[in-house]
Chains A and B, each alone.
Chain A
Amino acid sequence: SQTIHQWPATLVQPVGSPLSLECTVEGTSNPNLYWYRQAAGRGLQLLFYSVGIGQISSEVPQNLSASRPQDRQFILSSKKLLLSDSGFYLCAWSVRAPTNEKLFFGSGTQLSVL
Chain B
Amino acid sequence: AQSVTQLGSHVSVSEGALVLLRCNYSSSVPPYLFWYVQYPNQGLQLLLKYTTGATLVKGINGFEAEFKKSETSFHLTKPSAHMSDAAEYFCAVRNFGNEKLTFGTGTRLTIIP
CB within 8 Å of B: which residues of A?
A: 6, 32, 34, 36, 41-44, 46, 49, 51, 57, 59, 90, 92, 94, 96-98, 100-103, 105-108, 110
Q: How far is the CA of A51 from the CA of B57 in the complex (A)?
A: 29
CB within 8 Å of A: which residues of B?
A: 6, 9, 32, 34, 36, 41-46, 49, 51, 90, 94, 96-106
Interface SS of chain B = loop
Please name 8 pairs of A and B residues whose Cβ atoms are closer than 8 Å in the assembled complex, sorted by A.
A43-B106, A90-B44, A96-B99, A98-B96, A100-B94, A100-B99, A107-B42, A110-B41
**Cβ-defined contact, A106 with B41, below 8 A:** no
> How close is A11's CB to chain B, nearest CB, in angstroms?
13
**Cβ-defined contact, A42 with B98, below 8 A:** no
- Contacts A105-B44, A107-B43, A108-B41 given; indicate if A98 touches B105 (C-beta within 8 A): no
Chain A residues with CB under 8 Å of B43's CB are 6, 90, 92, 105-108
**Cβ-defined contact, B99 with A101, below 8 A:** no
> How close is A57's CB to chain B, nearest CB, in angstroms?
8
| Contact for A44 among B45, B51, B96, B103, CB less than 8 A | B103
**Cβ-defined contact, B41 with A49, below 8 A:** no
**Cβ-defined contact, A97 with B106, below 8 A:** no
- Contacts A43-B90, A44-B90 given; indicate if A49 touches B100 (C-beta within 8 A): yes
| Contact for B98 among A34, A59, A97, CB less than 8 A | A97
Q: Find the A residue at minimum CB distance from B34.
A: A102
Chain B residues with CB under 8 Å of A96's CB are 99
